Chains A and B, each alone.
Chain A
């Protein structure tokens, strides 16, 4: 049985600020990490691999060469091998072009997969679109916002617990299929030094657009029906004024004067 986990490298979001003049993300000195939801997807896949024998776990990502480090993290966690789709022609891909590239690559090089697991969204773009789009392009059943996955003994079906507004839903689907994961363990796992060393001996291959024989006009900026027009930080609200309440009468007068001034009363 083969499980694919599609992952993305993202900036460690807590550090990112937006340049107010250019409207672009300031990434200098900001660490790049494996997207946390992708890490959750890896955890679910590893859980299945630990429960049942004979499961091959393959991590796939699309991104610049440095995104290889996110895949290395997957190998440290326990993926058997990894593939990075990297080409200047992929640059500027929106969610559709990304999903299309990943789906085409999966079809061509890992066509015998049984289950695709993805994170529900990336913490930089927050679109939550790539997972469902891959399922759509590959014509697969897809269950999104999952918190747990079980395989049937015959491995032909998966039982998925997913989040819905009112609680949880248990859904079964036939395989092959796609699941997106929305929750992970409270505490991030840690690899042993041995696992970190072993990961560097595993296969991590890089494939270009030509290797995959993908059509140029479906890739990157050309193949992207949507474009980001502007990025801007949310307006920062004033902190407001705190009235000292130790003298209740004076405080009330001050509050009334303020409300009058602003024409609330």
Chain B
């Protein structure tokens, strides 16, 4: 089926919705709503809304459309490319869409499914799923939901929500809209792989209900959206092909694609995801291991071997380069408690952090294959840190998270002196076979430039974050030119300019390295079809103006 009908939601009086309607008050008392983790400079906002239901959200959309006011969607504001930062207009914070709606078991796919409102955080979802306690679900759920909840509690296995965007305070709707991923994408894929159903509110104030597996593009690559008045809009799926790597850049496109995938990862520019149903994965007891290696190159060799060894099934594979370990050593000297780990051994010149299955009760664990891989790369299992208790898994994760936190803190400190400075953090990924080549390219360029930099990240997906930390404006300009070279190199190796951060308002420039003008026009055509007034999330992902404005601009230009 390629035709979908949008439905009206119950109406509610616009005036009853909680809001702040003064740009001065927003700036003074709600300043945090003007920022997200990108710390991108905002352009203020005229009003800030806190809807709690689809009816309220619909009333806001219809009223803003009438007034010609643009709307920036917001919730947890954990994004790092400025998606939630307003460029004027209204902010609609969906943080109060925080209820869990339904739990059920799909016997055909043998998976547990949770239906939630978009403002629930990934952390809460995981805590509820693992402790088997969803607040309010038993009290408010249907008799069927109550039966499923009982069954879920009696199930001896533990379940969790596998997409792990590192920042667990992220709102589910945000992670769906950005197709968020993180370390565990190596094993479980990005958010897209776990979304089974969604409701998305279009700029018209009407809602599309999209289950996965129901609406597919025609062979000509089209969908038809019919609104409640019966008028039809044709959506033409972009014709480009997506990179074969982990990717968060651009609108998803594939032959015969599922409509739900058009909205996942679209950075909210087509509408607001108000509810989503996601699948849970079975939690297997892992052990976290940090294996210390004699060099960056040996670490990369170990990654290639670990990936090719089919019996170990790592959940994720993360990289600490020599520069990252040195960086942490300095931090450890200054403040050992924050680092929270024993002294990093002197012999460690790089490290690979990974989780594999481990049964603490078993006496006959055989990890001889892993031992052989370590030996081949100049290490041993004795040259490692390992832990399997929940508190240790968290501790190891925090140790990894310390790297971006520390680099951000260093730049924040430098910014006090030179406000224009910002960190240059890459988010490029390449196919498996190009890992060595891109790493050698990164290293030769960075070492030649004499910049301060640190490298770490999701090496399992060939997705190393290079963080250039400029000390001066000159260094920042130099870093930017190197950054562009990296982007071009990644694309030339069939990679992506953004594997997980998305494009937002910060990386639009790089989108044109990866996509041609024709590709970008195809994306814009989808936006114009679904949001003709270009009302939602202005400035995010695409630089786009209305057709008539476009003509007017061209006329002025000529």
Using CB atoms and an 8 Å cutoff, list the residues of chain A in contact with chain B.
12, 28-29, 31, 33, 69, 72, 186-187, 189-197, 200-201
Q: Contact mask B385-407 → A, CB, 8 Å, 1/0?
A: 11111111000000000000000
With both chains docked as a complex, state the minimum distance between the C-beta of B201 and any C-beta of chain A, in angstroms: 36
Are the CB atoms of A33 and B389 closer together than 8 Å?
yes
Chain B residues near A12: list those with CB within 8 A. Answer: 390-391
Given A33-B391, A72-B360: A193 touches B336 (CB 8 Å cut-off): no
Chain A residues near B365: list those with CB within 8 A. Answer: 197, 200
Q: Does B555 contact A (CB under 8 A)?
A: no
Within 8 Å by CB of B336, from A28, A187, A190, A201, lies A187
Given A192-B381, A196-B287: A31 touches B362 (CB 8 Å cut-off): no
Within 8 Å by CB of B382, from A29, A72, A186, A194, lies A194
With both chains docked as a complex, state the minimum distance between the C-beta of A75 and any C-beta of chain B, in angstroms: 11
Number of interface residues of B (CB under 8 A): 31
Complex Cα gap A201–B366 (Å): 12
Chain A residues near B380: list those with CB within 8 A. Answer: 194
Complex Cα gap A33–B386 (Å): 16
Beyond the given pairs A12-B391, A193-B370, A197-B367, 8 more chain A to chain B contacts, judged by CB atoms under 8 angstroms and listed by A's residue number, are: A28-B131, A31-B389, A190-B385, A192-B385, A196-B287, A196-B386, A197-B365, A200-B363
Are the CB atoms of B131 and A187 closer together than 8 Å?
no
Chain B residues near A196: list those with CB within 8 A. Answer: 287, 386, 388
B263-313 contacts to A, CB under 8 A, are: 287, 289, 291
Are the CB atoms of B130 and A197 closer together than 8 Å?
no
Q: Does B239 contact A (CB under 8 A)?
A: no
Complex Cα gap A190–B382 (Å): 12
Chain B residues near A28: list those with CB within 8 A. Answer: 131
With both chains docked as a complex, state the minimum distance between the C-beta of A32 and any C-beta of chain B, in angstroms: 9
Are the CB atoms of B287 and A193 closer together than 8 Å?
yes
Chain B residues near A187: list those with CB within 8 A. Answer: 336-337, 339-342
Chain B residues near A69: list those with CB within 8 A. Answer: 360
With both chains docked as a complex, state the minimum distance between the C-beta of A77 and any C-beta of chain B, in angstroms: 12
Complex Cα gap A200–B361 (Å): 9
Chain B residues near A29: list those with CB within 8 A. Answer: 130-132
Complex Cα gap A201–B360 (Å): 12
Chain A residues near B387: list those with CB within 8 A. Answer: 190-191
- Chain A residue at minimum C-beta to C-beta distance from B133: A29
Are the CB atoms of A195 and B336 closer together than 8 Å?
no
With both chains docked as a complex, state the minimum distance between the C-beta of B344 and any C-beta of chain A, in angstroms: 11
Complex Cα gap A72–B365 (Å): 14
Complex Cα gap A141–B367 (Å): 46
B334-390 contacts to A, CB under 8 A, are: 336-337, 339-342, 360, 362-363, 365, 367, 370, 380-390
Are the CB atoms of B336 and A194 closer together than 8 Å?
no
Chain B residues near A200: list those with CB within 8 A. Answer: 362-363, 365
Complex Cα gap A29–B283 (Å): 14
Chain B residues near A189: list those with CB within 8 A. Answer: 342
Complex Cα gap A191–B289 (Å): 10
Complex Cα gap A118–B131 (Å): 33
Chain A residues near B391: list those with CB within 8 A. Answer: 12, 31, 33
Given A29-B131, A196-B287: A190 touches B341 (CB 8 Å cut-off): yes
Within 8 Å by CB of B367, from A72, A190, A193, lies A193
Complex Cα gap A24–B32 (Å): 42
Within 8 Å by CB of A194, from B130, B363, B384, B390, lies B384
What are some 15 contacts across the A-B interface (CB < 8 A)? A12-B391, A28-B131, A29-B130, A31-B389, A33-B391, A187-B340, A187-B342, A189-B342, A190-B342, A190-B386, A190-B387, A190-B392, A193-B384, A193-B386, A196-B386
Complex Cα gap A187–B385 (Å): 14
Complex Cα gap A200–B365 (Å): 9
Complex Cα gap A29–B133 (Å): 10
- Chain B residue at minimum C-beta to C-beta distance from A196: B386
Complex Cα gap A137–B95 (Å): 61
Given A33-B389, A192-B386: A186 touches B337 (CB 8 Å cut-off): yes
Chain A residues near B341: list those with CB within 8 A. Answer: 187, 190
- Chain A residue at minimum C-beta to C-beta distance from B131: A29
- Chain A residue at minimum C-beta to C-beta distance from B380: A194
Complex Cα gap A127–B420 (Å): 58
Complex Cα gap A189–B340 (Å): 10
Chain B residues near A186: list those with CB within 8 A. Answer: 336-337
With both chains docked as a complex, state the minimum distance between the C-beta of B170 and any C-beta of chain A, in angstroms: 23
Complex Cα gap A190–B386 (Å): 7
With both chains docked as a complex, state the minimum distance between the C-beta of A184 and any C-beta of chain B, in angstroms: 13
Complex Cα gap A201–B340 (Å): 29
Chain B residues near A194: list those with CB within 8 A. Answer: 380-382, 384
Are the CB atoms of A195 and B337 closer together than 8 Å?
no
With both chains docked as a complex, state the minimum distance between the C-beta of B285 and any C-beta of chain A, in angstroms: 12
- Chain B residue at minimum C-beta to C-beta distance from A14: B391
Complex Cα gap A196–B358 (Å): 11
With both chains docked as a complex, state the minimum distance between the C-beta of A154 and any C-beta of chain B, in angstroms: 33
Complex Cα gap A221–B336 (Å): 45
Complex Cα gap A77–B386 (Å): 12
- Chain A residue at minimum C-beta to C-beta distance from B340: A187
Complex Cα gap A31–B381 (Å): 27
Complex Cα gap A31–B391 (Å): 9
